[in-house]
Amino acid sequence: MGRLKDLTQLSLAGLIPVSIVGGIVLLSDNSYLKNTNLNYQPNTENRSQLNFEEAISLDDSLTLLEIVNELKLKRPELYDFDFQEDSRYILVDKSSRKLRLYQGNLLIDTFPISLGTDPRSDKIKMGDRSTPEGIFYVAHKKVGKFGKALHINYPNIEDAKRGLSSELISKSEYDSILKTNEKCQIPPQNTDLGSYIELHGGGVGRDWTWGCIALRDKEMSEVYEFSTEGCDTNIIIYK
């Protein structure tokens, strides 16, 4: 009830245009934020594979801005961006197997997730089955094999820089990745860096994907409705 109260107060203050109908919070653009209980248990299988000495310990008591500042200190090359109060954020915490939705600095909901079968590593190349880390956008909203899905812009610019340096991609492939990222489009999906990284349904309970982020189907539907295609929804993946 606390978050519903917070949203109501923000609405009365004129900060967020919302109406509340039957426990559903409606925003001015007709998307919705459900007033739900956040007592989810994250998947713990394979957590021993993660290096918790390197992981950033973050919990639901931290604001989004505090999380962003922690990430900037830890890996500035991946997480150097300007926080915007009016933007939407999807935070994917690989260590705790949690996905969080934020409207500005306001935590909306938290869901359990599953990752690639190599959950410890950042994605480097095609076939490594790792979930990438960094800042991404929703390149395309789709309905596919695992239901509703968000195709993210992997490889992003940082991935392209790393791929060029390690000679995984050519200069022309690098230029194509940069060009599409700058336009908030789908980057090339035929390079040795890997491709088709999505947030999609299919369920949780073990790390089973080839690098994608999996949710339960019902909760993926909520993430899908919360998100907008293009650079307006920021997806931050970290451990």
Residue with tokens 């509703």: 148
Instruction: Give residue-wise pLDDT tens across range 133-172.
Output: 999 999 999 999 999 999 999 999 999 999 999 999 999 9
Helix (H) / strand (E) containing 103 = strand 98-103
> Which domains are assigned to the chain?
1-35 (no CATH), 42-238 (2.40.440.10)
State mean pLDDT over 4-33: 39
Q: What is the pLDDT of residue 7?
A: 43
Q: Is residue 15's pLDDT more than 50?
A: no
Q: What is the pLDDT of residue 83?
A: 84
State mean pLDDT over 124-134: 98
63 confidence band (pLDDT: 50, 70, 90):
confident
Number of H helices, E strands in the chain: 6, 11
CA angle 199/2/20 to nearest 5° reads 75
Instruction: Give residue-wise pLDDT tens across range 182-217.
Output: 999 999 999 999 999 999 999 999 999 999 999 999
Q: Is residue 40's pLDDT more than 80?
A: no
**Could you tell me the pTM of the whole model?**
0.75
Q: How far apart are CA 234 and CA 50, in angstroms?
A: 24
Buried-state track 89-114, b at ≥16 Cβ within 10 A, e below 16: bbbbbbbbbbbbbbbbebbbbbbbbb
Go through the chain and tell me how many residues it has. Answer: 239
Average pLDDT of the chain to the nearest whole number: 82
